[in-house]
Amino acid sequence: MPPRLPRSSSEIGSFAELRSHYDTAIAQLDECRKMKGATNEALGYRTAEVRGVRAEVKTLRRNQVQMTRKQEANGKLKASGAWSGAAIGCVTLLWTGFQEYGYPGPRWLFEHELVAQRDQILGQINQNTTQRQQLEAAYQQTAGAIAGLYEFAPDAEVVAELEAPAENGQPDLELVEA
């Protein structure tokens, strides 16, 4: 950049110096005009771009559906619920298919420690269920036998009298009516 031009005509010493400063000022003026033209051209492109974006935003705002935050949250919840349901269904179907037809992958996956524990617990549950059913059947039989005894028992009190022990060491019991 050339040296700074004088701000007052009294600072110019000669006509030759005036011409020199005049030529420099004209060159600077031409440079400013070129820069202003380039700037205006760039601004023109930018203005056209901004106007296009504004028109696009205006169109989008007209077509926009207004949603509250609650509606948006409900939509997201429904979408995530659908994905979760689909994932659970897929895993369930695959697991059932693998149990029915066998797993096509490595055998160690189904021989895992947790699977063995699950199978052991299921075996204990089945065993407990069977034992409970047997106990219920025995209880029903016992309750039926007791009911039968009450039905055939005499109305009077029955007293058992102990006698001296028999030859085998067991006491003979006699029923005596009182």
Choice between 169 and 84, residue whose per-residue pLDDT is larger: 84
Q: How many structural domains comprise the chain?
A: 3
Range of the domain at 164: 112-178
Residue 165 has pLDDT above 70, yes or no: no
Residues 100 and 148 in one domain: no
Residue type, position 166, single letter: A
Residue 159 pLDDT more than 50? no
The model's pTM is 0.27
- Using 50, 70 and 90 to split pLDDT, how confident is the model at 162? very low
User: Both 77 and 116 in a single domain?
Assistant: no
Is-contact 6 21, C-beta < 8 A? yes
Same-domain check for residues 133 and 92 = no
Q: What's the residue count for the chain?
A: 178
**The two three-digit tokens of residue 156, written as one number:** 């009077």
Q: Are residues 29 and 59 in the same domain?
A: yes
DSSP lists the bridge partners of residue 175 as 160
Q: For residue range 94-109, what is the model confidence (pLDDT) as tens digits? A: 888 888 877 777 666 6
Q: What is the pLDDT of residues 31-79, one digit of tens each?
A: 999 999 888 888 888 888 888 888 888 888 777 766 788 888 888 888 8
Residues 172 and 142 in one domain: yes
Q: Which helix (H) or strand (E) holds 174?
A: strand 171-177
Together in a domain, 41 and 3? yes
Element (H, E) at 86: helix 69-101
User: What torsion do the CA atoms of 140, 141, 146, 147 make, to the nearest 10 degrees?
Assistant: 70
